[in-house]
């Protein structure tokens, strides 16, 4: 048992790893529940390949109380991408609910930079593989509302942007060509999405009178925003998905604003409804 001053999750993990004596160290979230065989399946890739330095498992989200959050739809898509990345080379992102590293591969990062995004690419830069074990399963409660998910993602993005802009993710040093392509297509473009949306809107406005095609694309953009607004009163699945998407993109921009305006604290409070 370690007694530590309040300094955030990352510094507590750093201290735990320094005190550990085993070959592997595994981590979870306080609100995550692991399947009975999750740890055994999480460590299996390390036993099969000495080049593996990081493995994350599969986390699923439950929303027993109902609500409007559509995170589950996005997360299934994310898990499918992660499985393919793991088969091709290494994953470009992990999750805090269920993951493990070799003690020798563990990296101490800035405490505002969460392990979810910073560990996989740092492992690759240091010559390790970062894999996904889909059969190592954990579950967490989902934030019930889309608005609550926006607040959670805004906080997460204020920790993510320092990794992207200052933490080394953008540096190609240590990446192979395939992994570099995966980083750009899956991570860099994802963080750039709110600004690419604004650029597309501006370009659409400038081209609006030049072709009927741009009238259609402008109408589609307006319909997306209208559906997101209507979802506050009409809880049809299509409208809720639109609202989730729009607020997720807004959270990316808001997280950047928060970090640049007043910095990011190493610690945080759990999102409402996830305990």
**pLDDT (tens digit per residue) in 126-138:** 999 999 999 999 9
User: pLDDT class for 269, splitting at 50, 70, 90?
Assistant: low
| Higher-confidence position of 253 and 66 | 253
β-partners of residue 32 are 140
Each as own residue / partner, the long-range contacts of residues 226-232 (CB below 8 Å, 24 or more positions apart, any chain) are: 231/68, 231/146
pLDDT at residue 149 tops 90: yes
CA diameter of the chain: 68
- Return d(Cα 45, Cα 104) in angstroms, integer: 16
pLDDT at residue 247 tops 90: yes
Least confident of 56-60, 85-89, 140-144, 176-180: 140-144
- Return d(Cα 156, Cα 235) in angstroms, integer: 26
Other CB atoms closer than 10 Å to residue 39's CB: what's the count? 17
- Predicted confidence at residue 272, as pLDDT, reads 55
Over range 216-241, report the average pLDDT: 97
Q: What percent of the chain has pLDDT over 70?
A: 95
- Return d(Cα 27, Cα 33) in angstroms, integer: 12
Contact by Cβ (8 Å): 94, 119: yes
Residue entry with tokens 């650029």: 199
- Return d(Cα 137, Cα 56) in angstroms, integer: 10
Q: Tokens for 269?
A: 């409070």
What SS3 state is found at 215?
A: helix
Q: Where are the beta strands (DSSP E) in the chain?
A: 24-28, 32-34, 52-62, 98-102, 129-141
- Predicted confidence at residue 64, as pLDDT, reads 74
Contact by Cβ (8 Å): 32, 45: no
pLDDT at residue 265 tops 90: no
What SS3 state is found at 83?
A: helix
Over range 232-260, report the average pLDDT: 97
- Return d(Cα 180, Cα 15) in angstroms, integer: 32
- Return d(Cα 142, Cα 90) in angstroms, integer: 27
User: pLDDT class for 5, splitting at 50, 70, 90?
Assistant: confident
Q: In the predicted model, what is the mean pLDDT of the chain?
A: 93
User: 245: closest CA among 35, 81, 73?
Assistant: 73
Over range 201-224, report the average pLDDT: 97
What SS3 state is found at 23?
A: coil
| pLDDT tens-digit series, residues 202-212 | 999 999 999 99
What CATH architecture does domain 9-145 belong to? Alpha-Beta Complex (3.90)
User: pLDDT class for 178, splitting at 50, 70, 90?
Assistant: very high
- Predicted confidence at residue 75, as pLDDT, reads 92
User: pLDDT class for 13, splitting at 50, 70, 90?
Assistant: very high
User: pLDDT class for 275, splitting at 50, 70, 90?
Assistant: very low
Q: Tokens for 33?
A: 């529940």
| pLDDT tens-digit series, residues 68-119 | 999 989 999 999 999 999 999 999 999 999 999 999 999 999 999 989 999 9
Residue entry with tokens 């493990």: 100
- Return d(Cα 198, Cα 177) in angstroms, integer: 30
Q: Where are the domains of the chain?
A: 9-145
Read off φ and ψ for residue 52, nearest 5 degrees. Answer: -80, 125
């Amino acid at each position: 048992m370690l007694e530590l001053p309040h300094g955030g999750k990352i510094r507590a993990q750093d201290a735990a790893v320094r005190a550990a004596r085993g070959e592997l160290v595994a981590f979870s979230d306080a609100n995550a529940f692991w399947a009975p065989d999750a740890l055994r399946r999480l460590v299996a890739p390390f036993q099969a390949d000495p080049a593996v330095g990081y493995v994350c498992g599969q986390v699923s989200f439950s929303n027993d109380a109902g609500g409007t959050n559509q995170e589950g739809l996005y997360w299934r898509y994310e898990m499918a991408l992660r499985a393919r990345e793991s088969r091709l080379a290494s994953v470009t992102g992990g999750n805090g609910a269920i993951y493990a590293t070799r003690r020798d591969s563990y990296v101490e990062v800035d405490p505002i930079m969460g392990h979810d995004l910073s560990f996989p690419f740092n492992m690759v830069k240091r010559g390790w593989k970062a894999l996904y074990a889909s059969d190592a399963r954990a579950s967490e409660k989902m934030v019930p509302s889309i608005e609550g998910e926006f607040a959670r993602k805004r906080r997460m993005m204020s920790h993510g942007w320092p990794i992207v802009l200052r933490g080394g993710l953008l540096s190609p040093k240590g990446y192979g060509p395939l992994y570099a392509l995966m980083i750009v297509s899956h991570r860099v473009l994802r963080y750039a999405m709110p600004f690419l949306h604004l650029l597309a809107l501006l370009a659409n406005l400038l081209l609006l009178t030049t072709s009927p095609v741009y009238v259609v694309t402008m109408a589609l953009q307006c319909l997306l925003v209208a559906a997101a607004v209507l979802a506050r009163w009409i809880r049809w699945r299509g409208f809720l998905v639109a609202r989730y998407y729009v607020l997720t993109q807004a959270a990316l921009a808001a997280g950047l604003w928060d970090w640049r305006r007043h910095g990011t604290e190493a610690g945080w409070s759990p999102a409402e409804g996830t305990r």
